Structure 1
Amino acid sequence: METISDNTTFKVTNQGFVKLDRFDGSNFTRWKDKLMFLLTILKISYVLDPNLQPFPEPIDKDTKKMIEDRKKREEDELVCRSHILNTLSDRFYDLYTPMKSPREIWNALEFKYKTEKLGKDKFLIFKYFKFSMVDNLSVLDQVHELQVLVTKLLKVKIVLPESFQVGAMISKLPPSWNDYRKKLQHKTEEFTLEEI
């Protein structure tokens, strides 16, 4: 195995370490987090910082350090842009290639998909209330699906009290469970999600 002695080897090693699926418009948050992890490991994520100040135009009196820093920033921006573009599906690659700055690409993607995410968050609430269990699927699988919905709601800061979740779960039981549902609804003691 090669030692990690220079940036090139380091970059190749880490690309194998962080599995990045091509972004095709779905799961933006997951894609963004994975890509940011890779860019952080490569020590180039700083070029996406909205507070990063641009370098002044080169002048004859630039110090050697200033010239080296400018060159490093340009190289880091090029590598960062390439990593972003290389993790996009062909359709998105063609759409975002004309943008020359990695920050411009990043901001455009965030603007588009954060806006869409807000609409999806509202849809989660609708999906939770509309959810009902059916007889032809495993009840445990359906309970798991409902719990995944609750977890997604928590991520968008919608907290459902446990007693509400218990009541919802009972009401969402499949039709073949009507007798059990009625039995649970008429009990006076409180149930936890685990007990249900």
Structure 2
Amino acid sequence: MSTSEVGLEILPLTPDRWEDLEKLFGPRGADGGCWCMFFRLPHRQFTEQQGEANRAAFKQIVEEGTEPGLIAYAGGKPVGWVAVAPRAEYGRLARSRVLRPLDQEDVWSVVCFFVDKAYRKQGISTCLLKAAVGFAAQHGAKIVEGYPVDLSDRTYPDAFAYHGTASSFLEAGFVEVARRSPTRPMMRYTISERN
């Protein structure tokens, strides 16, 4: 899977690409020792293992053969990340008042992004979203769901926009299907037989 948009190549995270993710995330694990484990773990467990334990847990998921997301490369350099997997892998969604499931549909979820600071505001998140839809479709998904922040009336520091922005989701073809919080729409992309 790759894209010529903004000169990116977008590939699944596999064990042979783990070092690329480490380079992209840096020593802080993208943000505050998360290592993309926030939505996978109960709050207490996530907090207790922030940092190295989260890194090790996420690495184990990758080494077991799961491809938990996609890495974007520009000129061979890792510059962006999107986490996409079946919603059932993200237990925190089921426990969230705002993001709890809408229905019993078999949904894949896009839960977070990380883009290298030097490459932000260049459309990489939208490219990653489009690639995430394609990746989910290849794995049999019929619906891809996301939980972005709506920045229409406010600004957020980049660190708090890791869910993605509603405008990026709209640009990638998602539609709003629910809003349980003023700033957090739930958005879906329904994969047609043509995709």
Quickly name the TM-score band, shorter chain normalised: under 0.3
Q: Which is greater in Rg?
A: 1
Q: Which has the higher contact order (CA 8 A, sep 6+)?
A: 2
Greater helix proportion: 1
Greater strand proportion: 2
TM-score by length of 1: 0.23
